[in-house]
Amino acid sequence: MSSLKERLLRHKKSIAGTQEREEEVKARMPAGDEPPGPAEEGQATHGGSRPESAAEIDEWMVVGAAMEHTEWGDFVIRRRTYEAGFRHGEHELGRLSSCAEELFALLEPTAGKAAANRSAAPFHERLLFLDTETTGLGHGAGNVPFMVGVGFYQGDQYHIEQMLIRHPGEESAMLAYLEQKLAAHPVLISYNGKSFDWPILKNRYIMNRMELVAELSGHIDFLHPSRSLWKHTLPSCRLGKVEEERLGVRREEDVPGSLAPTLYFQYLAQRDPSVLEGVFVHNELDVLSLAGLAVHFACLLNGSYDWSHARLFGLEECFRLGLWLDKIGRSGMADTVMNALTEELLAADELASEEPCLLPLAQFCKRRGRYTQACSLWSRYIALKGGRATASLEPYIELSMYYEHKEKQWERALDYAQEALDHLWRRDALKRSGERKSNALSGNRSREKEEREEDAEAVSLRKRIERLRRKASSSASARRAASAVEQDASDSLLPTQSSAQTQAKLSAGAAGQAPVQGAASAVSRVPQSTRKRKSSLSAVEQLSMPL
């Protein structure tokens, strides 16, 4: 609360100072004229407007604004114009005129066609950048947008108009003026506008019984691409943080958006326009940042900012850039980013903070059918974190699946599956030893759920191991049978020279030559009964008898 008080005091004028300014206004006015009071200010109707006094015109010059008189009524407007060379952070706003068509990729397909066919004007001139300041954060009828800031291009110039209502009676006039801007610039660009700003404005048209004739050709909400690119690398995706970290915008003594409703209520109580000066500046910077983001995203889409630009903020941001490009249909650019990232990850000697993108990048390569790169990344992850208890089982399982289904190498697939099961066992043992005391004191529902999931994972791994063992065993049997068949075939093709030599040696023995070793071995295989009968015969008769 102390910080809130300090901010209020910094932007608050004393009541005495306000009274002195009112007395000075009265002194400058002709005799008999009185400055309008709050009751007179609320007399504006939908059908017309009343002439404003010189005091009312002069008081808004303090914040660089003036009164706008329309057929629907009066409201306060503040206008600013920026030339093409104006830089908001790192980007020149005029650069959008040459690359705005790239933003078609961020539109829905049907909205993109409508935006393309709606007008012959250049696409950047059909964009309307919108940001609102409201009295609350809800979507109910009590939440009123008291300030609406819009930005649009005319040629290379960027114009900002900020509309403010001094009381609820001026809301219809502001909404009617906004509808004219929507008709001239039918493609809306906002930051979280699809969920907040635009639904609130449509509700206000209904509450004021006004028909919104001008329909949008498309709506680009920069919050969604910002989250896709920077959700994992920035502490927050608020517009202020994004513009500071990625656009290079530094705001000095800026009034936060959460303080805007408080300052507006202070203005309603004191009727001092200077109280709202900080709110005007804050809203103007928001609308400028929308144009800066448009230039940034367009440069990413046309290749002006390639993967090396994102590499300045880390490998994780390179990976998110590739995913975002693939999501919006820029597959070729996504492959370029992912290939460069893969090469750098595999070539690096050491990786400390870049490990989180290894497994998601491997899955991306797998979806693309680049299994060689995917296997290299899984192996890289195992080499980096395989010995840690917190390491993922995914690379082991994926490699086991690859060698089973793609390479048909059952033994290698079995090794990876067994490593996964061993790693799961070590991890579970470490968890059980570390959480034994905490589980005794706290509820065990979450732990029981984790155990069921781990048990299911272990069961799946055991089934995989059994299947791979069967495949490996049958494969080994098939290889042994194949080798035996090959051996039999080679034996059948040997020449009969050895049999002829054996017969010749036996004949030589019959002629009185020394018997050969083969004949002796053949005689040793003769049954004993036959050998006894042969012993009573002569040598010639023994040789003539059959073996």
Of the candidates 290, 286, 124, which has an alpha carbon nearest to the alpha carbon of residue 222?
Answer: 290
Start-to-end Cα distance in the chain: 119
Q: What is the pLDDT of residue 119?
A: 55
Percent of the chain with pLDDT over 70: 71
Domain ranges of the chain: 61-302, 310-431+453-474
Q: What is the pLDDT of residue 415?
A: 93
Q: Both tokens of residue 96?
A: 């959008």
pLDDT per position as a tens digit, 308-354: 888 889 889 999 999 999 999 999 999 999 999 999 988 877 665 55
pLDDT for 168 beyond 60 = yes
Count CB neighbours of 524 within 10 A. Answer: 8
pLDDT per position as a tens digit, 204-231: 999 999 988 878 889 999 999 999 999 9
- Which amino acid does the sequence have at 38? P
Q: Both tokens of residue 145?
A: 């947008």
Residue 438's pLDDT band, with cuts at 50, 70 and 90, is low
Q: What is the mean pLDDT of the chain?
A: 80
Strand spans (E) along 112-235: 127-134, 145-154, 157-164, 187-190, 218-221
Contact partners, residue 53, CB within 8 Å, separation at least 6: 29, 33, 35, 36
**Which has the higher per-residue pLDDT, 193 or 541?**
193
Angle CA(246)–CA(328)–CA(200) in degrees, nearest 5? 70
pLDDT for 193 beyond 50 = yes
Q: What is the pLDDT of residue 1?
A: 42
pLDDT per position as a tens digit, 496-509: 555 555 555 555 54
Count CB neighbours of 529 within 10 A. Answer: 8
Question: Tell me, which fold does domain 61-302 have in CATH?
Answer: Nucleotidyltransferase; domain 5 (3.30.420)
Residue pair 313/233 in contact (Cβ under 8 Å)? The answer is yes
pLDDT per position as a tens digit, 231-269: 999 999 999 999 999 999 999 888 988 899 999 999 999
pTM for this predicted structure: 0.74
Q: What is the CA radius of gyration of the chain?
A: 43
What angle separates helix 331-347 from helix 358-367, to the nearest 10 degrees? 130
Task: Report the C-alpha gap between 136 and 132 in whole angstroms.
Answer: 11
Task: Report the C-alpha gap between 543 and 125 in whole angstroms.
Answer: 119
Q: What is the pLDDT of residue 437?
A: 52
Q: What is the pLDDT of residue 25?
A: 41
Q: What is the pLDDT of residue 151?
A: 97
Residue 10 C-alpha from the chain's centroid: 40
Kindly state the helix (H) or strand (E) to which residue 1 belongs, with its residue range: none
What angle separates helix 371-385 from helix 358-367, to the nearest 10 degrees? 160
pLDDT for 546 beyond 80 = no
Class of domain 310-431+453-474: mainly alpha
Residue 4's pLDDT band, with cuts at 50, 70 and 90, is very low
Of the candidates 412, 418, 316, 330, which has an alpha carbon nearest to the alpha carbon of residue 360?
Answer: 316
Angle CA(333)–CA(189)–CA(93) in degrees, nearest 5? 75
pLDDT for 121 beyond 70 = yes
Classify each residue of 486-501 as buried b or exposed e, where b means 16 or more C-beta atoms within 10 Å of its C-beta.
eeeeeeeeeeeeeeee
